[in-house]
Structures are given as structure tokens and as C-alpha cells.
Structure 1
């Protein structure tokens, strides 16, 4: 073999190793794309339900009468459609996509990186480490994209034909609300208005993201190790090694992957839902009274005094309908995108 051939072979081998090195720019960029695409498709599937759920959670006066029943869900959807047409069901979805692509991308990339640090090989994998990796990944993604989340919620909250539903007008409205700057009056920093509800969001993300990734991991391993044939296309990974030098395993069948993702989403939603209700209320308080800042404990007290324990779970049924397909699609598309982009 000539020296040129040897050099070429060595170069190709080096590129292949680097492409599967989880800390390489190539791996991170492809993982970023896979996560962003997965999150965007998942959110698009459930966009109409997402808007109705936000209106229920935030006790919108025009929609409170519909909350709490399946018939109310249908009636609320019909009202939105009658008032604003099909576009009304996707109001705020453009802001959702602007937010969800980087949010999902950062979440999956952060999970991969943190997991690889805590668990460099399969033998190092434990339930606690998977849970911690998911929680830290969720917190990272929230801190990076929270203002976009608040804008998306406020866009979805605005109802009626005369409501300012434009992205620019909503941003201007939030910026000039004085609630957050009242609390930070010595700093005069109106950008803090875009971080209403951040604390309960982080509190809710710890169990949501952690339990979601943990449950998905546990159920995936169960399906792989069960007596039933739940994997497909082993030829895709035969002879391929992951970043730790171990043989890669074939993916689950699509329907099994969807079921596993759906169950992971349902369990995660149940554990974190009260925090979601609290943060939704805090996010829209500026629309009710821009001159007043309402903290997390006052918000929780208001919910308790108004509706009791069940107030923290208002809209949970819609939450299940929304989260189960969303998480199922998200995990499934992400895993398939990883195969498509040739990353473990």
C-alpha cells in the first residue's frame, strides 16, 4: 500500500471517529439539527390543542366557561374557529416554531453532552444519572429560550378580532409593561418583563424533562430486553460503533417508539403540571394588570383560593392529549433523524 493510500485511509478513519465523537463540532451540529426538526414537527402536530390549553390554564374570561369537559374542549375550539378561522387555531404558532427549534435542539444537545459526561459507557448508566441529565438539559434549554416562550404564550392568550396578535406589537406591549420593572425599580430593566414565570418554569422543568428522559430510557431498555421483537432494521447499525467503542444497537420499531414516547410524556406531564399552571398564570398577568407584579407564591395562593387543589390541574386532560403525541413524535423523529444524519 502506497504512502498516499495509507494517508488517505488514516484521514478517513480520523474523520469517521470525529463524526461520532459527541464533543466534536460535527456531532453537536447534527444533533442540534435533529433535535430542532423533531421539536418543530411535534409542536406543529398539536398546535390547535396547545392554544386551547393555554386559554384554559390562564382563565381567559371568554373561555373559562368551557374548561373542565370534553364538550367544552370542542366548543372552545369551535369558538376560536368561528372568530378567527383556521388561522386562529394556529395563532402564536410562528412564535412557537421560532422558540421550539432552538429549545428542542438545545435540550437534546445538552442531554447528549451531559449524559456522555456522566455516563461515558453503558456500564456507567444509572437511573439517577439519566434523571439528572434530563433535568439539567431541560433547565439549559429554558434559560436559553424563555423570552420566546413568554411571547408565544401571550400571542396565544390574545383573543378577539381587535386583539394585537402581531409578533412586534406583542413584544412592544410586554416591553412597556411596568410590572417586572417595579420589582426591579432600582435597575429600570424592562427586559425582565420577558422573564415572568421563569422560576416556576425551572421548578417544573426539573421533574418534567428529567422524568421524560428517564421514563423513555427505562421503557426503551425494557422493550430491547423483552422477549418480543421490538427493534427493526438491524442492518443500519451492524458493524458500527458508538463514541465509547461499543456496538450500536438497532432502533425500536416506529409504533413501539411512539408508544414509549407517549408514555414518557404522560408520566412527565403528571408530575410537573401544577408548575405549568402557575407559570402560565404569571406569564399573562401583565395582560390583566401591567402595573402589578405577582410572584409565584401569591399566584399559587390565588389558584388554591379560587379552585382548590383541582385548580392546579385545570386543563390536564387537554395536556395529556397534547403532550402524549408531542413527546411521542419528538423522541421518534429525533431518533430517526440521528440515523439519517449518521450519528449514534
Structure 2
């Protein structure tokens, strides 16, 4: 009997993980389609000084490169971010169930918000192995010259050329150390803040979590997106700088620490927050859409 119960529990855990992965993938597709135009403006502001503001950058992109430019490099994130968000929700769900089991053994009922943060940080770290190179390729495609000056013909060409510089680790995976730091902090904040708002709403209204209206799920998801970026943005700036840097004699930043130092000396504290406004503007609809799609998908398949 005990073996049978354990087998059922194991299958249930695998099924729950599969549901988390599927729901996360659907949320990832929504995330890319909603957020890509905002993201290219953010990256341009982070990596160059030629624009006065987010509006100036968006206007210049539209005028000189056309409306399709706002979806430069979309194929890579559409495939990759779907996988990334799938991993995020799969890893978060698995970590959350681990903490729930540990709490039950210790006689505790609910997860602490430190545990929610730790589960989110684990999700970010699990995701970073593919999010690092995917974002590197996306950034290179977003910032390459327009027209005849293009450096890469597409995502695969970009992967090949980046890997040719200092190998896969030194080329394609450039900036991975700061990516790990950003992902852990960002997704720790993201999941913790969303869970706190959802649980508080359910408790305040004396309802089950599944009864929280979809528009409130989207609202809380949007606010969680703001928390994600406010808690991790300086890491993202350094990641973008390192992933748009040159190679060989054109390389400006030797290490992550060197990039932090040069940014501080050249721009001060403001340098770590460049492009924050369009990022926060993007975060609300993108994160709202992601959590709403994931939550509704989970309710539909559960």
C-alpha cells in the first residue's frame, strides 16, 4: 500500500510539473508578443547615448527602420522565451512543492514568503542556462546596424558568429555570471510578490485562490512585473552592456566587475537605471499577460 501511494504521489508530481511547464510555455509566447517592441527600445537606451528619451528612441526606430524593426530578433525569443517561461513555472512549482512537503514534515501549514522568494530564485537560476544565450542573440540582433550594414543574417548566423569568438562560453555565453545574479533576484521578487498579492486577496475576500477574478490576476501579475525590474534592473544594464560589447581589440569590458566599475565612473548611479521608464511601462502589460495566461491555462487543465 505504501509503495502504491508513493507511486501515485510520484505520478501526481510529474503531472503537476507537466502542467506547470505547459502553462508556462503559453505564458511565454504571450510575453514575447506583448513585450518585444518595448524591449528593443530598452536595449537601445541601455547600450547607446544617441537617444534623449524612450519616445525619441521609438520615434527614431520607426522613422529610420520602419515598424517591423520593433520585432527585430523576435523568432529567437518566441521559441526561446516560451521555453524559458516554461522552465520558470516548472521549476517554481517543483520548488514550491518541495517546501510544502518540508513544511508538512515540520508541522507547518503555509509557505513563508522567504520560501516563495527562494523558489522563484531557483526558477530563475534553472532558466538562466538558456535565457543567457537567447537574450544575447536577441540583443545582438536588436542593436545591429540597419540595411547593408547588418552583421547577422538571422539567429542561427548570430549564434555561429558569436561562438566563433572565444568559443561558446566566452562568446555565446558572455555575461552569464551577471545573468545568473539577475535571474535569481528578478524571479525571486516576481514570484514572491505575485503570490503575496494573490494570497492576500483570497484571504481578504474569504475565497479560494482559484476564485480570484481574472482581471485581478492580471493586475497582480502586472504589479509583480514592476517588482521584478525594480529589484534587478542594475544587473540587467550590465548584462546588456556586456552582450553588446565588441570582441578582441574592440572589447571594452574585460569582466562583469570591470563593467560595473566603468559604468559607475562614467555615469554614476544614473548609469545603472538607464532605460528604466520604458522597461516599467513594458513590464506591466507583459507580466500581466504572462500571469493571466498561465493562471487561466492552469485552471483550464486542472
Same fold (TM over 0.5): yes
Q: Distance in 2 between matches of 1:339 and 1:222?
A: 19
Which of 46, 50, 67 is matched with 1:57 structurally? 46
The verdict on how the C-alpha distance between 1:281 and 1:128 changes in structure 2, with shifts beyond 3 A counting, is: same
Shift, 1:209, TM fit: 0.5
Tell me the equivalent position of 1:207.
185
The verdict on how the C-alpha distance between 1:53 and 1:249 changes in structure 2, with shifts beyond 3 A counting, is: closer
| Alignment map for 1:195-344 (pairs within 5 Å) | 195-227=173-205, 249-286=209-246, 294-342=254-302
Question: After the TM superposition, which segments of 4 or more aligned residues of structure 1 sit over 6 Å from their partners?
Answer: 17-20
Q: Does the alignment pair 1:176 with 2:157?
A: no
Q: Distance in 2 between matches of 1:320 and 1:335?
A: 22
The verdict on how the C-alpha distance between 1:292 and 1:119 changes in structure 2, with shifts beyond 3 A counting, is: same
Shift, 1:249, TM fit: 4.2
Shift, 1:88, TM fit: 0.6
| TM-score (normalizing by structure 1) | 0.78
Q: Secondary structure at the match of 1:250?
A: helix
Which of 77, 84, 87 is matched with 2:68 structurally? 87
The verdict on how the C-alpha distance between 1:190 and 1:262 changes in structure 2, with shifts beyond 3 A counting, is: closer
Which of 142, 159, 169 is matched with 1:156 structurally? 142
Tell me the equivalent position of 1:237.
none
Residues 80-117 of structure 1, C-alpha deviation per residue, up to 9 Å, x if partnerless? 12233221110011111121011000010000001101
Q: Distance in 1 between matches of 2:209 and 2:276?
A: 36
Q: Distance in 2 between matches of 1:80 and 1:287?
A: 26
Bigger CA radius of gyration: 1
- Gap regions ≥5 residues in structure 1: 1-13, 182-188, 232-247
Q: Distance in 1 between matches of 2:143 and 2:130?
A: 22
* Residues 141-150 or 332-341, more deviating: 141-150
Q: Secondary structure at the match of 1:314?
A: coil
Tell me the equivalent position of 1:78.
59
CA contact (8 A) 1:83 1:161 kept: no
| Alignment map for 1:37-48 (pairs within 5 Å) | 37-48=26-37
Q: Distance in 2 between matches of 1:327 and 1:288?
A: 38
CA contact (8 A) 1:285 1:294 kept: no
Tell me the equivalent position of 1:3.
none
Residues 102-140 of structure 1, C-alpha deviation per residue, up to 9 Å, x if partnerless? 100001000000110111368141111111000011110
CA contact (8 A) 2:253 2:259 kept: no
Tell me the equivalent position of 1:99.
80
Shift, 1:288, TM fit: 9.1
Tell me the equivalent position of 1:134.
120
Q: Distance in 1 between matches of 2:299 and 2:290?
A: 14
Q: Distance in 1 between matches of 2:168 and 2:87?
A: 26
| TM-score (normalizing by structure 2) | 0.88
Shift, 1:274, TM fit: 0.4
The verdict on how the C-alpha distance between 1:255 and 1:95 changes in structure 2, with shifts beyond 3 A counting, is: same
Shift, 1:330, TM fit: 1.0
The verdict on how the C-alpha distance between 1:218 and 1:96 changes in structure 2, with shifts beyond 3 A counting, is: same
Alignment size in residue pairs:
289
- Gap regions ≥5 residues in structure 2: none
Cα RMSD of the aligned pairs, angstroms, is 2.3
